[in-house]
Amino acid sequence: MVNRTVSVDIQSGTMARAHLKEQSRLAAVLRNPWLWVAGMTLVGFLLRRYHLGVESLWFDEADIVAQARQPLPTLIERFTKAGENGPLYTLMLHYWLTLGDSIPGVGRLMSLLFGSAFEAQVRGLSMLFGTAAIPVMFAFAKRVGGQTLGLLAAALLTFNPFHLWYSQDAKMYSMLVLMTLITSLLYLRAIERNTIAYWAAYVLATWVMLTAHSLAGLVLLAQIVATLVTMRVMPLDGRAQPGGKTRHTLLRWFLAVLIIVAPIFPIVWLRAAALVTGTVDSGNWYGNASLPEILLTIFVKFAVNQAAPDALGGVSIPWEAIGALSMAALALAGAWALVRASRKADEPVQQDREVGRSEGRNPKVLTLMLWLVPVLLFWVLTLVLPLFQPRYLIMALPSYLIMAGAGIMALRRVHPLLAAAPLVLLGLATGAALLSINYSSNPQKEDWRGAMVYVQDHIRLRDTIVVFPGYLESAVELYYRPGGPAQVPDRPVETVHSLRTENYGVRELDEDLRRIVACKERAWLVISPVREAQEDPQHKVLEWFQSNWHTFDTKEFNGVTVYGISFNGQPDCWYPGPVMEEPHTFEGGLGFTGYTYELRDDESNEPKQPDASYFPLTMFWQGPATPMPDYDVLVKVTDPSGKVVKEEALGTLNGYWPTLEWYPNAKVIDYRDIRLPGGLTPGNYRVSVQVFPKGQPDKPLKLEDGSTEIVFKQPLKVVTWKP
């Protein structure tokens, strides 16, 4: 009995020790910071994957896609041009766009990772750069202030709405953030280790960064300033004084910077000369910005991704100011903590109690310089050339977040509530920003996709598309896709010459626009209101179309407006008549001369119109010699059983040219797109027209035979839509 009890005790002790050992292993795993970094990276990937393809590509994205589709020699040549921005990203996107087609199975993998939408796959490259920045952020911030700071900075970057936004943008900005962190981390390692391998890696990474964006040079300048600030007078034997560097290290650093700058010096020189002489054209897109305005704007953008420069001065959305103030308070506390720590780091190293490792002065100074130098130098640059946009300073975002993380740690040492209060407020503002901006159900980017889908639904065989300003052509051509199941007509895309061109005046503009509209029946004028106001403050182009011709449609999308313009004929060509002539006269002298079904498959043996599509009807009218009241025209579509499936009452030209404004004996071409419902039974449908005084459908005008309805002799053949 005793032996059995002892045996049970031994087994229980063994199990207890095994359980404790298992718990200690689990605790050791959980203490591994890279496990948490991996988790944050996964969360960051999912956040950047969500809604990736929901928004249309805006103009800059569409333009870089157009550039990436250029031949390889053209892309390589861009590396040597002083005015080019982000040639490496464009080159990488060139291969990225063909990756799914060139390697079997990769296309399916890309659809799984990023989504099947074209926009999602285009943005996938930026998304990967944005996700990869999270672990690099941890590694860099860890060298600045230890493991805890690394985790805090990585967490702030993971959920940062500004970084999330540009990780879902097909531009080079997420790549710039990543390369800022990589070059800075390699810079620190090269300074500390002083090996040729690290210096070579630093040189290569910096070259990559400098070809990612033209303003990446601000990062290199920040690293140079950080080196000069931490430099000490070296003793003759080459040994470092406390907090300093050996002469050997400084020599290698100088050679590395020389190797970095030498190949790009001619381009930098030409670019600087262009800035000084004022020959660089900023397109008049941006206004002048003072240093306080720049700071206020980036405080808001870096915190909650909202471009409201006055967010700290009483903006109507309070969470913007709350988020900006909360992060600014943390960053300010963190900057002060880093300054104090760098002053105390006159010893060779400084012990970090929380992580048990040592950090010197240089990482802290570098972090501060990565914030101060880009902001100050960019402000000086804007004094010469107004080109301020918050995204141009995104390379300062990592240092700002590290400062905020250091502020959390510093305030926590004073009292946990001091750190918790701004952190909670920042978290609430971040959630509001993600829901209302990044993941909003309303479009936040220019909706070129929606605009061109609308044009494709309504465009006809004798129409043209006019884009203004002309440089927006790449966005239109990206989304205007002739052919396909809808048989979209292949119509020309015309552009208007820049009004800022020397010796280009009203006469030249009139000649260009008349050439564009010659022998066309209608035009779809597609503009970006913000850019149109910058390019043409007096709205000469829009006024030319709307004063000389007749607007029949206006459709607004986010950042894009589409105007349908009717020429009521074909300028400098001929006046089209109805295909089906069926003359009738209403009481009061209003004449109806005929109609045309402008079906897209008109060349087939049996012209037909799919259901769930726009039926393009053109009606031809002849006005009387005397003025008329305002009439509405009711169009009805009736199925073979006699059931009305669609009826629509509008003034002529969709109400834009009411009959009371017709000149005597006017000939008017009236365009109507009738949206047919889906699920219609195939067959021949009847189309009819009635006219009545506006708002009085119970008083239709009578025809010469006493009836009130014109039933078209030509039936409309409706078929089932086949995508």
Q: What is the pLDDT of residues 155-176, one digit of tens each?
A: 999 999 999 999 999 999 999 9
Q: Determine the pLDDT at residue 27.
A: 58
Residue 196 amino acid letter:
I
Question: Which of these, 246, 242, 245, 240, lies nearest to 348 by C-alpha position?
Answer: 242
Task: Give the DSSP H or E segment for 251.
Answer: helix 247-277
Q: Which residue has the higher pLDDT, 408 or 353?
A: 408
Give CB contacts under 8 A, 24+ apart, made by 337-341.
337/406, 337/407, 337/409, 337/410, 338/144, 338/145, 338/364, 338/367, 338/368, 338/403, 338/406, 339/364, 339/368, 341/145
**3-state DSSP call for residue 524?**
strand
d(CA 75, CA 62): 16
**Residue whose token pair is 């897109």:** 285
Cα first-last separation, the chain: 84
d(CA 210, CA 268): 11
* Antiparallel, parallel or unpaired: β 614-622 and 667-675: antiparallel
Q: Determine the pLDDT at residue 46.
A: 98
Is the separation of the CB atoms in 414 and 333 below 8 Å? no
pLDDT value at 706 more than 90: yes
Q: Which residues have a Cβ under 8 Å from the Cβ of 637 and sit 6 or more positions away?
A: 615, 644, 645, 646, 647, 674, 676, 685, 686, 687, 716
Report percent pLDDT > 90 for the chain.
74
Q: Give the Å distances, CA to CA, from 372 to 40, 300, 336, 539, 595.
A: 28, 17, 13, 41, 69
Q: For the residues of 614-644, what is the DSSP string, one character each?
A: EEEEEEEEE--SS----EEEEEEEE-TTS-E
φ, ψ for residue 590 (rounded to 5)?
-70, 125
Q: Determine the pLDDT at residue 263.
A: 83
Structure tokens at 644: 């009305």
φ, ψ for residue 308 (rounded to 5)?
-120, 100
Task: Give the DSSP H or E segment for 649.
Answer: strand 644-650
Q: Which residues have a Cβ under 8 Å from the Cβ of 115 and sit 6 or more positions away?
A: 49, 52, 53, 121
Structure tokens at 640: 């073979």
d(CA 399, CA 395): 8
pLDDT value at 541 more than 60: yes
**Residue whose token pair is 């959390």:** 408
Check: pTM over 0.85? Answer yes or no.
yes
The sign of the torsion formed by the CA atoms of 430, 435, 438, 444 equals negative
pLDDT value at 407 more than 90: yes
d(CA 320, CA 326): 10
Task: Give the DSSP H or E segment for 479.
Answer: helix 473-479
Highest mean pLDDT among 14-28, 591-605, 709-723: 709-723
Q: Which residues have a Cβ under 8 Å from the Cβ of 427 and sit 6 or more positions away?
A: none
d(CA 483, CA 657): 32
Cis peptide before 318 (omega within 30 of 0): no
Residue 80: count other Cβ atoms within 10 Å of its Cβ.
Answer: 11
Q: Give the Å distances, CA to CA, from 57 to 46, 265, 286, 298, 490.
A: 20, 34, 21, 24, 22
Task: Give the DSSP H or E segment for 609.
Answer: strand 609-610
Q: Determine the pLDDT at residue 289.
A: 82
d(CA 287, CA 299): 19
The predicted model gives 529-535 an average pLDDT of 92
pLDDT value at 536 more than 70: yes
Q: Which residue has the higher pLDDT, 80 or 437?
A: 437
Out of 237-251, 323-337, 492-506, least confident range: 237-251
Side-chain-side CA neighbours of 184 within 13 Å: the count stands at 39
Give CB contacts under 8 A, 24+ apart, made by 250-258.
252/190, 252/194, 252/196, 252/199, 253/190, 253/191, 253/199, 253/227, 255/199, 256/190, 256/199, 256/202, 256/203, 257/220, 257/224
Torsion-angle region of 611 (φ positive above 0: left; ψ -120 to 50: alpha; else: beta): beta
Q: Which residues have a Cβ under 8 Å from the Cβ of 661 and sit 6 or more positions away?
A: none
pLDDT in tens, 322-370: 999 999 999 999 999 999 988 775 544 444 433 333 346 789 999 999 9
Q: Which residues pair with 561 in a beta bridge?
A: 527, 556
d(CA 292, CA 512): 44
Q: Determine the pLDDT at residue 249.
A: 86
Q: Please provide the size of the chain in residues.
A: 723
Is the separation of the CB atoms in 633 and 652 below 8 Å? yes
d(CA 468, CA 594): 35
Vertex 585, ends 584 and 586: CA angle to 5°?
Answer: 125
Question: Which of these, 490, 474, 616, 466, lies nearest to 541 by C-alpha position?
Answer: 466
Residue 543 amino acid letter:
E
Question: Which of these, 537, 555, 532, lies nearest to 471 by C-alpha position?
Answer: 532
pLDDT in tens, 562-575: 999 999 999 999 89
**3-state DSSP call for residue 349?**
coil
**Residue whose token pair is 């995204």:** 391
Report percent pLDDT > 70 for the chain.
86
Structure tokens at 43: 């969360």
pLDDT in tens, 52-89: 999 999 999 999 999 999 999 999 988 877 667 789 99
Q: Which residues have a Cβ under 8 Å from the Cβ of 524 and sit 6 or more positions away?
A: 455, 458, 459, 463, 464, 465, 466, 562, 563, 564, 565
The predicted model gives 100-118 an average pLDDT of 89
The predicted model gives 419-430 an average pLDDT of 94
Per the prediction, the chain carries an average pLDDT of 88
d(CA 509, CA 491): 22
Q: Determine the pLDDT at residue 238.
A: 46
SS3 content of the chain, % helix, strand, coil (to 5): 55, 15, 30
Vertex 147, ends 145 and 151: CA angle to 5°?
Answer: 105
pLDDT value at 141 more than 90: yes
Torsion-angle region of 104 (φ positive above 0: left; ψ -120 to 50: alpha; else: beta): beta
Structure tokens at 646: 């669609």
d(CA 459, CA 600): 10
